[in-house]
Structure 1
Amino acid sequence: MGWLWKTPSKEGESQTPPPASSGLPDSGLPSAHTAHASTPSSSAQADHPPTLTREEQADAEWKKLIASLEGDISQKSHDKRRSTPETPSLDTSSSNPHAPPNSIAPDSLYPDTMSCRSAFDYAFFCQSFGGQFVNVYRYGELRSCSEHWSNFWLCMKTRTWGDERRKEAIRDHYRKKAIKYKTGPSSEDVWDVRTESIGECFNGDFAALEREVKAAEEAAAAAAASQKAAAASATAEASSASS
């Protein structure tokens, strides 16, 4: 009956050799089939990590947030170093941020830069309960936050503009704001403007007045000293009379 396993195999079929027996008795070790069967269960356990508590999830999310912020900061610093030229500039005004502007035109009095982050912080704080509480404390009433939001949206709108166009738009925005507040109410609405001179209350010989004040102070000091001496002599006479 040997012809049953000696028949030629078909083309394309691979013959798998039978596993070689070691000749040792079964020692209870898991077979290859058992190990292969246990592999899916271990992979299933790996696919389902242990459940984290609420505190552990919060810590993990916080670490991810810190890592993302650190990555953004490092990327910005790297881009800034790449964009900064290695050779120093000959223009000293650009290296000193506090240097006065080169132009003396009236438009140079208005700033030409704006921080979108600061504008959003101001608008968000004004919209909050704390911001309105500050408005009530300072002005006695609730205030509108439209001005802060207009600053923020202007900054966001001009982010993609060119440098010159962006500077001109921001400068024009601050110019309109200055015109709005400089032409508004002033202290003259409370105090009447003086239309005539106050007289001669500040006229006179100030040197002579100073001498008179000094002489009066010296006379007062001499009178106090004489009174003190008289009191001391009276005390001495009283003590001698009693003895």
Structure 2
Amino acid sequence: MADSAPDAQIGRAAEADLPFDYYTCKASQAFDQWFACMTVGKQLSNYYRYGHRSGCGKHWAKVGLCMKIKVRSEASGKAIMAEYREKEEAQRKSMPNVLDVWTRRE
């Protein structure tokens, strides 16, 4: 029992470092992000850079997620949002980054 106390303190310290709205989701903010993605300027920019328009599906999925969290209990909403954040972080880490392109010179 004494061994788990430091782990619990580390967990609380890590949770204290998170922003206050880490486990919440604002549907209006998610909708604004989706709408900004759908604007003509954003779509033209994406077409110029990548050769196709942006689907903005991830933004619409976040709107749905926020609406789903609103009807759940606070604990259930936090669990859903934590799972979403973990998936988002894992996907971000799996994507290539600048360190994959550049090699270190000796």
With structure 2 as the length reference, what TM-score do the two structures score?
A: 0.71
2:86 counterpart of 1:175: yes
CA distance in 2, matches of 1:159, 1:130: 31
Give the structure 1 partner of residue 44 of structure 2: 133
Which residue type is aligned with residue 67 of structure 2?
A: M
CA distance in 2, matches of 1:132, 1:143: 6
Deviation per CA, 1:112-160: give whole Å up to 9, x if none.
01110010111122123133134346xx123220110111000011211
Give the structure 2 partner of residue 122 of structure 1: 33
2:67 counterpart of 1:156: yes
Which residue type is aligned with residue 23 of structure 2?
A: D
CA distance in 2, matches of 1:118, 1:104: 28
Residue 165 of structure 1: how far off its partner (Å) = 0.7
Give the structure 1 partner of residue 13 of structure 2: 104
Which structure's residues are more often helix, by fraction? 2
**Which residues of 2 match residues 73-84 of structure 1 at below 5 A?**
none
CA distance in 2, matches of 1:188, 1:116: 35
CA distance in 1, matches of 2:70, 2:39: 26
RMSD of Structure 2 on Structure 1 (CA): 2.4
3-state SS of 1:131 partner? helix
Which consecutive unaligned segments of at least 5 residues does structure 1 have?
A: 1-101, 197-243
3-state SS of 1:103 partner? helix
Which consecutive unaligned segments of at least 5 residues does structure 2 have?
A: 1-10
CA distance in 2, matches of 1:136, 1:181: 22
Following TM superposition, the consecutive aligned residue runs of length 4 or more in structure 1 with deviations greater than 2 angstroms are: 133-137, 141-144
CA distance in 2, matches of 1:104, 1:165: 22
CA distance in 1, matches of 2:93, 2:102: 18
Which residue type is aligned with residue 12 of structure 2?
A: S
> Matched residues, percent identical?
31
3-state SS of 1:158 partner? helix
The structure with the largest alpha-carbon Rg is: 1
